[in-house]
Every structure is written in structure tokens, then in C-alpha cells.
Structure 1
Amino acid sequence: MTAKFSLFRPLTESLLKTNSEAEEVEIANSLAQMYQELLRDFVLDGSYSNTNPTHVDGGIALSSQHALDCLRDPLRTVRFIKGLNAAIQDAFIRFPDEQLQIVYAGCGPGAPIVFPLLCLFTPEQLSITLLDINASSINSVEELIIALGAGDYFRPGYLGDAIIYQHPPELPLHIVVSETMDKGLTKEPQVRITQNLASQLNDKGIFIPESINVYTEHSFYSKEPYFDIYKNVLDLGPVTNTRDRRSLFSITRDIQISPSFEYLSEPIAVPADFTETPDICIYADVIIYGDLKLTKAQSLISNSYCVKSLYNIGATQYRLHHTTSDIPNWEVIELQDDLLAP
């Protein structure tokens, strides 16, 4: 195999032309296979197979191997690549005659959202900074950069926490990419990373994903279609019936910088009859860029998340509380009837 990043071109050109989920899955599988071969051939110490996650104040950062496993989340992979390509094209218009500064937070051992696009641009157009908290990821991706002859596109990789990373102020930041999230905005530090990096963007800069729209429904959780990397996303079955949809909040580049993000919902009524929908579930529609998005059960990051069974609630109303302090999580706060507003 020729050690040049141009070897991505056939796949990249096909990927950008996909217009069905079946085509997206086929291309994503080919891309995942290519990465396995590249890492095997050029990262000889196998450090990318490290499976030790890292706890930061804001979530759990995936290990190198688990980050690499996300390539098997096909619709997510393809649509983030498409989204970044579209964002770059728009950024050329917003920032004419400027070299675009791109930060990719949580790049893993292969930086799969940016590498396939290099064949479409020149180093004079793009300058990319890769961030990851795992030394095994930074070491692996830097070995790939050297092996594929792509060094002119990249600034030195940053080994550290994206929640505190400060981009050089003399390099105006045009695009940030971070897909460091799990279902229902639990576990991983997406929100805290967004708080830090979005605030450093140029006024007309672009954050990918553009928006994470979180909502709740009462559902029958065990009947929900649920994607994992061992399933075919095209064959998960129909979406189950839900009720009482309520929008909660959205995460965008306009998020507050500090303190740690907290959310408390308005009171939500427990249905009189919930036998068909006995679970309180959280969902996130991920708007990657423009019309590119991931909705319920299309990805690991848009799967449903069950907070609690209604059978275990003794009150008639409750609130949902979300925090990013320590590890992002949800809890149900029961409202006693004698404390409810009249």
C-alpha cells in the first residue's frame, strides 16, 4: 500500500456522493477496514489498541481502541466527514484568503473525520490541530501523519485535556470538531469541551456539531431500537411508540463558558396510565452541519437513554436534572404534592 494520504481519494469521493443510508454504511465499512490496515502497517507498537479510558472533570475520555471502534458507527462517521467538508467550503467564503485553523478535539488514533478530506485541499488552505488526552492516540495519529506524508497539514498534536486547551491567540480559530459524546449526553465530556473551545472560535467560526437538541419522552425502553457496533444500523426495526415529548435544552457554540453546565426541567406529570410507556427516556438529535444530522437510534450518540422507570416514582410530578460536574449524568427529582405550586 502506498504510504500517501491520497489513497483516501476514491473512498472520499464516493463518500461525498452517497445519498442513501445503505451507501453510507458501505463506505463507512470500507473506511474502517482501511484504517485497520493503516494502523496495523504503520503503528508497529500497536499502541492504538489501548483500552484504558481517562477520567476528567467533565466526563470519561474514551481509550484509543474505543475511539477507533467509533468507525464502526457508520452513519455517524460518514455524516461528520460530510459535515466537516461542507463547513470547510463555507469557511472559505466566510474567511477568504485565510488559511483555515481547524481544531479536532478527541481525534483518537486515526483522526477519521479529517484524514479522508486532506486529498481535497492543500496545506496552504488548512492547518489542523489534533487534541487527545491519550498518549497512545497522539502517538498513533502522528505516526500515521508521517507515514502518509501529511505533515504539512498539521500543527504539533496536543496531548492533554480539551476542556482546558487554549488555542494560540495569534491563530484565529475557524472550525472546531468534537464528537466526544455518548447517548443522552451522558458519560463523555462533549458539553465541557464545547464550553471551552466554542468560546475561542472566531465570531463567524463553525462548531461541529452545530447543535445537540436534547428532549425527553415516556417510552418502553426495552422495545426501543438501539444501535451498537455489532448490529446493522439499517436493520434495527421500527421506532416504538412514545408519548409526552418535551424539549429540554440545546447545546450550541453559544453555550455559556462557565460554570459547569447544569439543567433542571420544569415539572413533568406522571401519566395516569403508563403501562405502554413505563420509562423516562432521554434522546438527542445531533445536528452535525446544515441538513446533516443523526436522530433516534441512528448512532451510538443518538440512542435513547433510560433515566428511571415510572413504576419507581411515588409522586405525581417530577423534574429532570442534568449535570456535567465530574461525570455527566441525569437524575429524576420527585416532587411531593404538598410542595407543588397551586
Structure 2
Amino acid sequence: MIVGIPKEIKNNENRVSLTPAGAHELVQRGHTVYVQHTAGINSGFSDEEYEKVGARILPTIEDVYAIADMIIKVKEPIECEYNLIRKGQLVFTYFHFACDKELTEAMMRSGSVCLAYETVTDRQGGLPLLIPMSEVAGRMSTQEGARFLEKPQGGRGILLGGVPGVKPAKVLVLGGGIVGTSAALMAAGLGADVTICDISLPRLRQLSEFMPKNVKTLFSSGHNIEQELPVTDLVIGAVLIPGAKAPHLITRPMLKLMKKGTVLVDVAIDQGGCFETSHPTTHADPIYEVDGIIHYCVANIPGAVPCTSTLALTNATLPYAVKLADLGWEKACESDPGLKNGLNIVDGKIVFPAVAEAFGWKI
């Protein structure tokens, strides 16, 4: 199979979808790998490193899309890429269709096969291609939240861990999955007073067993969240419904319950955001203010640490990319029901129910 690796062009997206080691694996199995010039440079990989393992370098993104049977990316295609994707071409990447109608309709028009990282499942029903980036995003959500709590950044001027004689900041984490757990552990490690919420009592029991003593668990309900907001300095939204739009756990009226300069970090922004007042931002312009509350809603948080993120992501995606290249998407999905769950759009039709439901469409 001919595999194409275009350079990511979303704002401040510095990751690359395949490392030289990954390219070597595909080439050794008889596949041809084309990499766009400088695609890996921001993750620390030069064109020469790809060429040494047998990959070929192409000068433009148009060249890569034109020649490849399978495109492997990190982030969803943006508008200038829509017309480069052709009928029958397999695109393997994060899509997050449920919160982007324009992208969904463009991919339907293209007639391509859209296989989304975020809905591929493993035998236990987990999301193996979301986990590594969720771990990065969770850790970074605390790191960025701490940064924007600083007064020069617009925050309340609170040090997350406090100092002897001064109480630490209070952090509220909404969601006890991979993102929320990673965020809570990072915040706890910095010395914050952390509360983590979830609707699953079994998950809360698990969290209470291994979390540090400065992390408390709380059942996630509207009432409980409202009770926490007046005394919270940093809220991290880490709610996920696989492939579907995230629910709004904090509404606009609830902002008035918080102190001015409180920071909201919405890690669920790729799925529409879990705060009503959220809208996507970029690393170049990461925050905005609503009713005195700082919102951080960067849609590709791990893109800021590409040397870590690229390695973590490709560790997870490469076995699936190899299977797709070896067998073709149809046979690969027949042999692996979890990979089949990654199919979102095939030949102009939505095949993933949660995406159709997000727009009120029927499959």
C-alpha cells in the first residue's frame, strides 16, 4: 500500500503522525511511505531520518494526498485539505466529527473512508488511541491551568500548591477517566486541594483507593458542582462520551458562582466542550474571558509538546496502521471489531451512530 504522511497545518500543531521508526516498519513490510518535506521537523525528526529508513520525501501536501492510498494524520483535515481527499482514499486520524458539521459534510462529499482514532476500541471496550493523548492533555491541563491562575496571565494570582501558612488552590476535575485522573494526579503532585467528580460510583471507589490524600472524590451532579464552584480556583473539564458531543456541565449562569479570575480548562473542546461558554482556541491565542472567568479551550493541547506527544501517539497507532496497510481497511476491520468501531464515514455515508445523532440525522 502507498502510505502518505502530510505535514500538520492546524494552528501550532507540531506533531507528526508517523516516526521514522514507524516508517521503517511499514517499508520493511513492503509498503511505500511518502512523507511531506519537513513533516517531522517540529517533533525532532528530519527528512534525512525518514529517507534513511526507506521513506520518500515529497515537496508539497498536494503531492502526498495525490499519491497515497492511505493518509495517516494527527488532527482532522482543515478546509484547505478538503478538496485534496479523494473517493476511496482511507484517512486515519482524529476527526471528532460530532462537533464539526462542516468537516462531516466535507468528508461525506469526498467519498473517502474516514477511520477515527477516537472511536477505535480494544477488547475491554477502552479507547487505545485516545489514551496516550488523554494522558498528555490531562497533565498539561493542570500545567496550563496553573499558568493562567497567575495574575499577569489574567488569573486570580493563586499558586497551585500554596506555601506553608497559606492554603493551596482548590482544583475541581470533572470526569474520572484518563484525562481527569492524569489532571488530578498532576494537581495533587503540585500540592493542590483536589476534588475529582464522576457519575460512576465504581470508578470513584477505584480513584479513592489510589489517589493521594489531597484528592477527594465527589459524585458528579449539577447540585454538587454548584456547591463546589464558589470555593474553586481551577476547573478542569475532562468529560468524554466516545464519538458524541460532550454534555455542558457548567452553564453560563453558573459562572456567576465563581470568583473573578477563576480558570476553566476545557479538555473536552474537541467534542464540543463541557462548558456552555466554551469555544475552540489555539496555542497562539489560548484564552478568553467570560463574566470575569478565564477560559482555556485549546483544541490540540498535546501539540505544544510534540516530542513527547508524537512518540506516545505513534506507539499506539502504529500496530493499527500496519494492519490497515497489510490487509486493506475492509479486511482489517472484518478481522478486528475494535478497529471497525473506528469507521465513521464510508463512501459518503455516516456509519457511526453517535455522529449521526449529533446532527439529528439517520444512518
Q: Would the TM-score normalized by the shorter structure come out above 0.5?
A: no
Q: TM-score if structure 2 supplies the norm length?
A: 0.37
Give the structure-1-normalised TM-score: 0.39
Quick check: which one's strand share is greater?
Answer: 1
Query: Comparing both structures, which one devotes a greater share of its residues to helix?
Result: 2
